[in-house]
Structure 1
Amino acid sequence: MRMKRFSIFLLFLIVGCALNAQDDYRNYVLSRTMLNGTGTSYLDNITYYDGLGRPFQTVEKAVQSGLPVNKNLATLQEYDAAGREWNSWLPVFAGSSDYLAPASIKSSAPGNYDNDSRPYSQPVYKASPLNRLTAQYGPGAAWYNAERPVKTEYLLNTNASPLKCIKYGVSSTGGLTGNSTTFYTSGELSVVKTTDEDLNVSYSFTDKQGRTVLTRQMNNSEEHDTYYIYNDKGNLCFVLQPKYQESADLGKYAFQYEYDARGRCTKKILPGADFVEYTYNDADQLVYSQDGNQRAQATKKWTYYLYDKFGRLTEQGETESIENHSVSELQLSNCYDGYGFLGTTGFDDIVYSINEADKKYGKGMLTGSSVAVPGSFSRIYTAYYYDAEGRMVKSVQNNLLDGFDVTETAYTFSGNPSVVTHVHSAAGNDRLTETYAYSYDHNDRLAKVEHTLNGIKVTLADYIYDDLGRLEQKNLHGLPLHRQEYKYNVRALLTSISGNFFGESLYYHTGDNPVKCYNGNISSVKSSFNGPPRERYYQFRYDGLNRLTDAHFSGSAYDPKFPAGNFAEHVTAYDKNSNILGLSRYGQTGAGSFGLIDSLTYSLQGNRITRVDDAATASAYGGGFEFKDAVKQDNEYVYDANGNLTKDLNKGIVGIQYNYLNLPNKVTFGDGSTITYTYAADGTKLRTLYKVGSTTTTMDYCGNVIYENGVRKYLLTEEGYVSLSDGIYHYFYRDHLGNVRLVMGNSTSSGGQVEERNDYYPFGGLIADLGSVQPYKYNGKELDTKKGLNWYDYGARQYDAALGIFTTVDPSSEKYYPTSPYVYCGGDPINRIDPTGADWYKDSDGNYHWAERGDNITEGWTWVGSSVSIEISKSKYVNYYENGGIVANKPVNAFDLIASSPKLQNLFLGENSLLSEASKSRLFNGLVNRSLNSIGIPVGQALVGYAAVEFGGIALGKIFGWGAKGLVNLLGKSGAKAATQTGVNTLTASEYLRIENAATRINMPINVVGSRASGTATAYSDWDYIIEGINKHNWNKIKNSLPGARSILDNTPRNIDLIKEPLDRTKPFITIYPR
């Protein structure tokens, strides 16, 4: 869905005075977030410290409103006899108390979590001065009683499996050296063995320079190895996928990089794709790039990039020559700092006009852009306007229908959007005006969303939160009839969605499935519908890499003897890159019969499917979903030089043309039918033209307004859509993956009517049960069924649910080296989704979360992007690109900072990069292929509605416990507040200030490493610092003021480890600089 929503920054004021409401006998820091300009409304967060300066209790005030007083939440951190963090208790309801005795918290905690006797996480340390973790128990007695912690072992490599490691290298000419007979000497590498809560084992091998050289995942006894090979300068030159160990073909199974003398990547090869070349100027800015498709054209083309004196991209396009720079197509151009472009071509309409007084607010901002529409003479012209605080308050953009889209935003004091007004116009149509009004509760959480369309107001949804701050209830259309209630387990994993029309129960280690899941995977799902009543059950099984192998389906309660029938789906085999090799699918074969409809065998060349054979003899009843095996030949699927699918003969597709973003321009079928797509040069889909036989259909996309054959059809909203022919609101009921399970139509006076009801195969195949009134289905993505295409549009690429693959290479494939760039969600469609490939998410409380692919994304998290800014103290921000931060005195887009600064590019991309090699590759790829809207617009000020994804339509409160496996919860919106998670030890504002003061005192940067840096449980659970080049004199200046108390340097092992070795930049860290 495309939604109108803003990323938000809040202002935090650290109040240091003692207030009577606090416990004046204990040290504390009060963090106050002002909600209005008079100071009468605010949020308080109190952190108490013990005599050693360690935080032991946090109280978040007024999480829940109540009479006569508001209700608070309290968390407790315990320490063991050695001063190490021990039991981390989940938040408990504290009534109106500003402080609770630890004993009171511990005694009341079980009652907050369904009487679970272990509502806390607990580390287990190895008995050594290194204080290394050997196990980590998350919250929940079930995990403890079943002995299911996350276990960690610290080993050295040997010459026997699974601890042996091939020794690869890079020759003087840049070639790969080493093979399956050359190994590292025993004891040469450090190895960390991790066993997750489902007993899945993985190994990470690290050399003496702290570089990861091998990650090994075990599927029972089968090794899945990903090797990382560096040259003498430390640059990553090769990444060998697991399949390479079975077939040593670099072209098919390796990521390859070449560098110039300055450490800049000049050539990149992705598995199965032709190489991409890069050329730089003397300022280390990328000026030319050329991919395989550009090189394969009769007249070769290059993409060029021009910058202003501040290093900001001003122009991008294609040229046929890098010698004389003859421009063949200007793709985009940007204007910054002012509005002198107004009145020029494209910006000459009165709708772009602005008051003279408001022009001063564009300094330092992207103020205008012109984006080509390839294949036409049209361009999209956009002007951006800001207020005195640098927030975008208005944007004006033309559209392909000779009209404009104008969006204006007003904000609350705390920076939340309060009113967003969108005016859409198109030639020959009346003006359409819609307004979103956002209301917030006493805790500044979203409480109500109202939508006004052409003067008629409707409540889209209102939200109610429980005593722990989690979303408890959502009412669609403002009616109790459409109430949806949410429940969670002790780890804050969603366990049920219930309502009058749709419900879903999720089981992890409970339920009828004999195979229990303790690592966060869902073991079974029960979905239910009313009108008429019906229940459906799926129960799942996974392999050692968390890939789905079996999805058993039943229309009634799970029966262990239930045969593989109805709508079951089974992956019979994966290769080592997680490509599917075989798939069986069951479905309806007759009016009352069910059976095998697909028995697929995949043939591959590298990661590309070349042929699929179906051995099933039955077909889906009534034209239902199935794979159609239309031809029998070796090359049923053909690809271009960039790895894009150009032929799918089983669908009758004889040709697919692509634009420079690897998005499809035109699909041609064997009978002459065509589907033509129109994209702007920044990747925005604008139009689809279908010519099927004698019928022509045109779909126009103007933001959230969709036209069919020139007639307005849909207005997409945050909770569904409005049918513009009659003004009726239609609401989506979604499951835990955001799949649209039910569509309910409501006029302003009726209770509603069920219009559509959907079930899905695990990999997205549609089992339509009742009607199909709109195209948004699996993951909320648009399904294109015309001419049997059956592709889901994921924005960056298209997905074929019949085969479980994407049609093009993942633009973010360098994030996921071990996995084929064509597979969907690494083979796990039950617990993961693939929104856009971005990584930062925001929950409804304003907390930001970093999630890699493979992590579970919690309900209600909104996608932000690869950059985010988090306030850590007054006028102090950490601006993150991925998990590497840049400290500044204001929120700015880290990607934009890097893109505009050759110095930062050298820092982030050079030999001594702050980022891991994988992050360096992603950053480099992003600099090459960056989108317009991420340039010059600070995070939190750009409208992200059209890129945002709402998972399940839920906006959860703060995530407590583990929440979702593998996720990192960094600083929350109150600066000093950090949600408690298993294995998560994050910096509070006061801790950050203490470290910054120490850095200022010695005038040296201080690196915080391990779990303190990222929230990920690693070898370090305490305080670990790397201060390169520090001497004893400087150390004595700061050792007693750093968080963590005492140091092993003084032979008093407590909480501080000062590591003298060079910083391992592949591991989590935060660098805190002197003021």
Structure 2
Amino acid sequence: MNNNIKMNHLHKYIITLLLFLFPGIVLAQQTNSRNYIISRTYKQSGANSNDVSKVVTQVQYLDGLGRPQQNVTVGQSPSGSDFVEPIEFDAAGRQTKQYLPYVASGNGAYQNNGVPSAATWYIANSAGLQATDLARPYTESFFEQSPLSRVTGQRAPGGKSANSNVKYKTNCCGELKRYDYDIPTNVISQPGGYAPGTITYVQTTDEEGKTVTEYTDLLGRMVCRQVVAVPGVGPSAVILSTYYVYDDIGLLRAVLQPQYQDQASLTDFAFTYDYDEFGRVVIKRTPGGGITELVYDQFDRLVASRDANQFARGVWSFTKYDAQNRPIVTGEIATNATRTTWTSNVAAIAEHHEERSNGTTAGYTLNKTAPLNATEADLLTITFYDDYGFSKAANLAYNALYYPSNNANVKGQVTGGRVRMLPGNGATGGWLTSVTYYDGEYRPIQTDRELYDLGAGTIERTWRMYKYDLAPIIDIQTTVHLFPGNFNTGYEIYFQHDHADRVLDAVETVDFDDDIIEVNTSAYRYNALGQLQSKWFHSMDGVNYVRRTDYTHNIRGWLTDGKTVYKKAVGDPPLPFFGFGLSYADGASYTNGNISQMQWQNKDEIAFTKGLNFNYDGANRILSSTGLNGYAEIENGLTYDKNGNIKTLVRGGAVLDNLTYTYIGNRLSAVNDASGSNLGVKSGASSYGYDGNGNVTSDGNRGATLTYNYLNFPKTVTMAGKTFIYDYDAAGSKHKYVTDTMTVKYAGGFEYRQVGATNQLYRIPLQEGQAVLRGNKVSFEYFLKDHLGNVRVVFNAKGELLQRTDYYPFGLEIDRNSPIQTPAARNAVNRYNFLNRETQIGTGYVDLLARFYDPTTGRFMAVDPDTEGQDGFSPYHYSFNNPIRFSDPDGRWPECCKGLGDFVTGIGSALNDDIHGGNPITATPGYVGAYNSGRTAGHYAAMVVGAAEIAGGALVAGASGFGTAASGGAALPITLAGATVAVAAMTQGATISINAVDNLKNDKGRVNASSTENTGRGSNHLKPDPKALGDHSRFRTDSKTGKTTNTATYKENPKNPSGFQETKRVDITGNQHGGVPTPHVKEPGTKTVRPARKDEIPNQ
């Protein structure tokens, strides 16, 4: 981005830093006897600085030495009170306790009794928490008594936590192997051990006594990391040692995986790296993933590469750049040139970059940089920046429906691009072009893109309208598919936020071929600290909902249960619909975050009736699960090699498996099932084959043969004489799947089914489920998920149970319907079960985005794209072999516990992010509050303590009243009074960024809503009168002034669950929509927002 442009943009986010030296210009509520810093973040230009809904004010109090004493965030709690975080030091000036934040009134004032108040506040606000463990609302650190003041241990919040310990030592007696790399011979040798005193190591023992040791040489390089999987002496001990090997000039030459200590094969169990004379990696070898070669130009830009599969096909990937060193085109070119030849050819080229050439499809010259002979046919992706001069179809032009104009000054922004289709059954396909238009704050307001195989000229258009003129908080998002012949389908979501922009309600509208249906799909309420506490599902009036889920956590922020209830009739007590509970200190009594027990209950079961206990080894890998109350669906007998490849696994219950795995390196070569059952893995031996990149090409268990595109995504899967075909684009998006029974077409979140020559919209994902065409009617259906994101229950708008699913620990589905559903019937209800990801029709693989997963074997079908970041594990492992605690919904990196994981992710994101352009970000359903709270906590703690351990967590709890009847049982009205209590919790271990203060003031990483996220709608929305007998209008008036604030007109529509369809809405007061201030008119049928005429404004 042009620096001047960027600074002009950032200056609009007015940030104020005021010290005690200027007491006259700060809020009166601050304490003038203390030093303090005030920072303000403006979400709306011209806002009053005391308006907490438009300005976020934070006060940091400091002592006379400049150390932070207390942090206060003004008015951002759900009640409008302050968030307060006290800080405590010992006599040596070390922060020994990191307190959880609490809520207090004061409008930014210093809280004199902050430390004792934190403890008493949690006791007094215990709803939704484990009331037996509310002591110690802080993380405690212990230090050695030396000038180094190194941390020797920590203890997390709560009375049930235990100490973790840290020891600092030097080597003495050959406890560590030494590996050397010789540059001239390119050989790794093991000359012996390290001399005493030349290695320092840090040994960390967690709350469960599990030990991790990291060894560092005198140059500060980590040379080994050891995890004790099985403690003991001699052969009985199992130590997982990952070694890092450097050359004489300090370059990392090899990473030796733990299994290398038993099988010393560099090919099978090592990452190795070759460098050029400039210290750039030119060859890297991945265990199981083959060899990748890389070529750079004289400007240190990667310009060409090839992997093992490309070597076999005789092609290289290439990238070309513009004058600002931004990648503009990528492609693949046929050539058998070696890396050495490429390097020589690239070095002989003097040109720095390609130039724009708007009259061509490529949009750039292609003959100035390597490869000089590239043509448009070789290109796979094209990216345009800075302007809209590139060629594009007329229907991709800016549409002024919501905003009069877009920002033409877009230097530094991605304005559009093209991506090549990669048909699974043919050669390279055609182009899909996309365009993004921005407002003055560089927020995308309109995104257009061409759609694949839905008819020539069909495009998708997405509009985003924002709540403020500065902050990127989405108010309305509309997506329409525009077909030739004036035929449209679409989806729209309205958001309602509280004063701190926490989402309260989501109203979603779907348009299935002009069958427009609008529903209050979900509502969210938060505890006193602003973290999600209760969630409601489906309402036609925004008050009475069909189902409600309440959550409870412990003080550490770990989810302990999620219970969904319903009522049979008005006045009846709430009854269980589905619920699950998690324990961390029962059974095997794990206190380090491993889940020791999971239980659940089904409809009308008063208590938890089924469940599993879990046991783990010292590396936190699951060893066994045992059933509770006769539950038989278990996985036990698990053993692993040192890389985490499963060696044995036994399943019981609905699926009987007794599996033994055989490997060549990390690749599964065969699995043998001695159970005699063909459920799960088939009985007997099944073999597996791979291509050069480590993708499974033959699956003997399923009898499948697979082929892949250049991105390592499947092109075809052939089973039992049937071939299933995938069409991806060159950026990795899946567009089409052809099975023997149907053809599915994916267009963003929209899913079409091809019926003859017609494409019928079949499914649109919702905040908490899906809208599906069943027969000739649209059905709104909702998902209840466990802590991992697995869909356990599907129910419809009437509350009727459609599908129930349990899971084995590694994800194999267990059908709990009565009668058992056939695979076709299960797919017809919902294919998005495990981790809410799509199970593939006909094959049973699960698409986890970056690669496919096989729950029958508990392994991925391809090498992890991020395997170098998990170098101590097999590139095929699933969730660190701890599938009850971790999930891997994107196939790249395991994450923990959804809400808690999003909170921790938010902390990490906040601590490490730079300020980015201001584009909205989306997150997965249900956890926006957790993520944003995490980001705030991360920035907040960073601003206070610098580099230290922080703590925080996303806690939710449940309470609500009940009310009037609705179809399928009594409705659950949403109430505010019962939804504002509970506590926050802390999670250790985030390293704090020095840039946190700036990020806290201008945090564009906070999550906004998308079509798969929990959000809400503007307060101006009216509902049709359910008692009306025909077309009618409704009015809303201000109770204080008596003036009309909104009007809406409705026509009859029997297909809509309300019986009516809104045709026009006039908002006289309220927020602007789409840049159009009130009074304005919204016409849903035409998706238009415009200024209101005088005759449309009622008498004021």
Q: TM-score, normalised by structure 2?
A: 0.73
**2:522 & 2:901 partners in 1: Cα distance?**
14
655-664 or 352-361, which deviates more: 352-361
**What amino acid sits opposite 1:369 in the alignment?**
G
Residue 206 (structure 2) pairs with residue 178 (structure 1)? no
Q: 1:769 to 1:412 in 2, by over 3 A?
A: same
Q: Of 33, 53, 70, which residue of structure 1 is paired with 2:41? A: 33
Of residues 299, 303, 309, the one that matches 1:283 is 299
Match of 1:510 in 2: 585
Alignment of 1:589-738 (within 5 A): 597-618=656-677, 620=679, 626-629=680-683, 632=685, 636-653=687-704, 655-669=705-719, 671-691=720-740, 696-709=741-754, 710-724=759-773, 725-738=776-789
> For the Cα contact (< 8 Å) 1:361–1:385, is it kept in 2?
no
Matched, 1:215 2:225: yes
Deviations along 1:275-301, one digit per CA (max 9) or x if unpaired, are 11111111111111111111112xx11
Question: What SS does the aligned partner of 1:815 have?
Answer: helix
User: Aligned letter for 2:290?
Assistant: D
Q: Residue in 1 aligned with 2:508?
A: 451
Moved more, 166-175 or 982-991: 982-991
Give the match's secondary structure for 1:349: helix
Shift of 1:544: 0.5
Change (3 A) 1:857 1:353: closer
Share of identical aligned residues, percent?
A: 30
Q: Is the 8 A contact 2:582 2:597 kept in 1?
A: yes
Aligned to 1:529: 602
Cα contact 2:764–2:772 (8 A) shared by 1: yes
2:951–2:989 CA contact under 8 A, matched in 1: no
1:334-370: CA deviation from partner (whole Å, max 9, x where unpaired): 11111111xx3x5343556689963523221111111
2:149 match: 131
- After TM superposition, list the pairs within 5 Å mapping 1:930-969 onto structure 2: 938=917, 940-941=918-919, 945=922, 948-950=923-925, 953-957=926-930
Matching residue of 2:621: 547
1:86-235 to structure 2, matched below 5 A, reads 86-96=96-106, 98-102=109-113, 104-106=116-118, 108-111=120-123, 112=125, 114=131, 116-143=134-161, 148-160=162-174, 164-173=175-184, 175-179=186-190, 182-219=192-229, 220=231, 221-235=237-251
Q: Given that residues 155 and 164 in structure 2 are in contact (C-alpha distance below 8 angstroms), is that contact kept between their aligned partners in structure 1?
A: yes
Matched, 1:970 2:943: no
**Which one of 552, 568, 571 corresponds to residue 634 of structure 2?**
568
| Cα distance in 2 between the residues matched to 1:65 and 1:949 | 23
Counterpart of 1:763 (choices 791, 796, 810) is 810
Q: Cα 1:611–1:767, aligned 2, differ >3 Å: closer, same or farther?
A: same
**2:5 alignment counterpart:** none
**Contact 1:124–1:136 (CA under 8 A) maintained in structure 2:** yes
Is 1:262 matched with 2:278?
yes
CA contact (8 A) 1:731 1:745 kept: yes
Shift of 1:329: 2.9
Alpha-carbon distance change, 357 to 406 in structure 1, aligned in 2, over 3 angstroms: closer
| Equivalence for 2:832 | 776
Aligned residues, how many? 848
Distance (Å, rounded) in 2 between the aligned partners of 1:552 and 1:437: 45
In 2, the alpha carbon distance for the partners of 1:664 and 1:867 equals 33
Residue 869 of structure 1 deviates from its aligned partner by: 7.5
Query: Partners of 2:134 and 2:287 in 1: how far apart?
Result: 48
Contact kept in structure 1, 2:899 and 2:927, CA below 8 Å: no
Contact 2:140 2:156 survives alignment (8 Å): yes
Letter matched to residue 202 of structure 1: V
The one of 393, 400, 404 equivalent to 1:347 is 393
Alignment partners' CA distance in 2, 1:389 and 1:599: 59
Matched, 1:490 2:555: yes
Q: How many angstroms does 1:44 deviate by?
A: 2.7
* Partner in structure 1 of residue 1045 of structure 2: none
Cα RMSD (Å) of the superposition?
Answer: 3.0
Evaluate the alpha carbon distance shift between residue 267 and residue 325 of structure 1 in structure 2; reply closer, same or farther with a 3 A threshold: farther
Checking the alignment, whether the CA contact within 8 Å between 1:239 and 1:256 is kept in structure 2 is: yes
Contact 1:391–1:941, Cα closer than 8 Å, also in 2: yes
State the match for 2:524 in structure 1.
463
1:460–1:477 Cα contact (<8 Å) kept: yes
Q: CA shift at 1:480, angstroms?
A: 3.9
Unaligned runs of 5+ in 2: 1-8, 19-24, 232-236, 338-344, 346-371, 566-575, 953-985, 1001-1100
Displacement, 1:990? 9.2
Instruction: Describe the SS at the equivalent of 1:223.
Output: strand
| Amino acid corresponding to residue 602 of structure 1 in structure 2 | Y
Separation (CA, whole Å) in 2 of partners of 1:492 and 1:582? 34
In 2, Cα distance between equivalents of 1:446 and 1:200: 40
- 1:246-395 → structure 2 map (5 Å cutoff): 246-297=262-313, 300-321=314-335, 325-327=373-375, 329-341=378-390, 344=391, 346-349=392-395, 351=397, 358=406, 360-375=408-423, 376-395=428-447
- Structure 1, residues 234-289: CA drift from partner, whole Å, max 9, x if none? 22110000000000000000001111001111111100232111111111111111
Structure 1 gaps, min length 5: 1-7, 557-561, 589-595, 621-625, 839-851, 871-877, 881-890, 893-937, 995-1075
CA 1:990/1:281 → structure 2, altered by over 3 Å: closer, same or farther? closer
Cα separation, 1, equivalents of 2:999 and 2:662: 58
Aligned to 1:520: 593
In structure 2, the CA distance between the partners of 1:777 and 1:367, relative to structure 1 (3 Å rule), is: same
Moved more, 641-650 or 115-124: 115-124
For residues 999 and 928 of structure 2, the distance between their equivalents in structure 1, rounded to whole angstroms, comes to 31
Q: Distance in 1 between matches of 2:170 and 2:591?
A: 28
Question: 2:441, 2:547 → 1: CA distance?
Answer: 39
Deviation string for 1:504-536 (max 9, x for gaps)?
Answer: 44444434x1x1111111111111221577732
Q: For 1:317 and 1:356, locate their aligned partners in 2 and report how far apart those are by CA, in whole Å.
A: 37
AA aligned to 1:380 is L
TM-score, normalization by structure 1: 0.75
Deviations 1:952-1007 (A, max 9, x none): x33344799xx9xxx9963259977986554667468797899xxxxxxxxxxxxx
Equivalent-residue separation in structure 2 for 1:108 and 1:649 (angstroms) = 61
**Which secondary structure state, in structure 1, belongs to the residue aligned with residue 300 of structure 2?**
coil
C-alpha separation in 2, matches of 1:969 and 1:173? 51
Q: Distance in 2 between matches of 1:853 and 1:798?
A: 14
Alpha-carbon distance in structure 1 between the residues aligned to 2:891 and 2:738: 27
Higher mean alpha-carbon deviation, 40-49 vs 724-733, is at: 40-49
Q: Secondary structure at the match of 1:730?
A: strand
Q: Residues 733 and 428 from structure 1, CA distance in 2 versus in 1: closer, same or farther, beyond 3 angstroms?
A: farther
Aligned to 1:295, the other structure's residue is in SS state helix
**2:460 counterpart letter in structure 1:** D
- Counterpart-to-counterpart distance in 1, 2:814 and 2:691: 33
Equivalent position to 1:583, from 644, 649, 661: 649
Secondary structure of the residue that 1:779 maps to in structure 2?
helix
Closer/same/farther in 2, CA of residues 223 and 72 from structure 1, 3 Å limit: same
Q: In the TM superposition, what whole-angstrom CA distance separates every residue of 1:832-877 from its partner, at most 9, and x where no partner exists? A: 1112266xxxxxxxxxxxxx7565553473999999687xxxxxxx
SS where residue 244 of structure 1 aligns?
A: helix
Q: 1:428 to 1:864 in 2, by over 3 A?
A: farther
Contact 1:470-1:958 at 8 Å conserved across structures: no
